[in-house]
Amino acid sequence: MKQRAQQHISNCPICGGKQIDEYLKTRDYFYTQEEFTLTQCRDCKFVFTNPIPSLSQLSDYYETPDYLSHTVNKFSPKGFVYDKIRDINIRRKFKLITKYKQQGKILDIGQGTGELLKYFSTKGWETIGVEPNDSAREFSKKKYGLKVFEESELDQFQSGSFDIITLWHVLEHVPDLNSRMKQIKRLLKKDGCLFIAVPVLDSPDSLRYKEFWAALDVPRHLYHFTPQSIDDLLNSHGFSLKEKYPMKFDAYYVSMLSEQYKKTKLPYFRAACNGFRSNRTARQTGNYSSMIFVAEQK
């Protein structure tokens, strides 16, 4: 893929600050090998990819069969690991969500191929999915009979109509962060809960791998969150953080990809060791490789 037109961000997406410094240079090791820069707001310390590809061309960076959350029936060792972890996580997510709501209507934004919503539907939940990828959206409709819509349909949904809204490793992909948060607040019931899962920039494996950390995933990941920046974002849109939970498997999976990007010997063994170390350190710092943040409206 050739270098494409880019869009420069001059104001911090969270606090609006104009003092922006270079944070890190990295590459799209996953797909194109293009170089990208991460910048950091001097005021609130939020880190974001800058510049980013133009919005009309951003979808091109997802057009690869190796992008597993959009992939249907593609076997590979990496895909096998991904599927097994996903199946375990679906049951854990269901158990977590039902701590807050036993039953109701759930909206999963960026639902991929729909396995999570399929599981919820078998448990008696009313489910709605939103997925921008055409093939993933059509697969979940035909395979699981789910109600799945394009992103543009979010503005058409009735206000206050969802008990639960989830974004599993999705918020970091959304071009207009603040517009999406406003949509979520409008759609969520006053006593509803919001679940956001994102990679954590100041996690031990991020600090270990630096520019090779696979969860940077530029330019598909536009934002690189910490627990503090998630809290800042939630507060700025009238949410309060209720709780946060680790996603411990992510340390192993992200370490596996990061070792592959570094082209090290014995990448699976190294990933297992580093995933274990990451989780062990995170027990002290509280910053796991990926985390789930649960929020409610103030």
Confidence at residue 81, expressed as pLDDT on a 0 to 100 scale: 64
Calpha distance 53→148 (Å, rounded): 27
Q: Are 197 and 168 in contact (CB under 8 A)?
A: yes
Q: Which residues pair with 128 in a beta bridge?
A: 107
pTM over 0.85: yes
Sign of the alpha-carbon torsion through 211, 86, 172, 207: negative
Q: pLDDT band at residue 84, thresholds of 50, 70 and 90?
A: confident
Calpha distance 286→283 (Å, rounded): 6
**Closest CA relative to residue 237, chosen from 193, 182, 163, 162:** 182
Sign of the alpha-carbon torsion through 133, 259, 168, 24: negative
Angle at 217 between CA 216 and CA 218, to 5 degrees: 95
In 69-219, at which residue ranges do the beta strands (DSSP E only) sit? 105-109, 126-130, 148-149, 162-168, 188-199
pLDDT tens digits along 130-189: 999 888 999 999 999 999 999 999 999 999 999 999 999 999 999 999 999 999 999 999
Domains in the chain (CATH in brackets) are 6-297 (3.40.50.150)
Return the SS3 of 242: strand
Task: Name the residue with tokens 């990295």.
Answer: 26
What's the mean pLDDT when you consider all of the chain?
93
Residue 159 CB burial class (10 angstroms; 0-12, 13-18, ≥19): exposed
- Interval 201-209 mean pLDDT: 97
- Interval 80-97 mean pLDDT: 84
Return the SS3 of 99: coil
Confidence at residue 63, expressed as pLDDT on a 0 to 100 scale: 81
Work out the percent of the chain whose per-residue pLDDT is above 90: 86
Calpha distance 184→231 (Å, rounded): 16
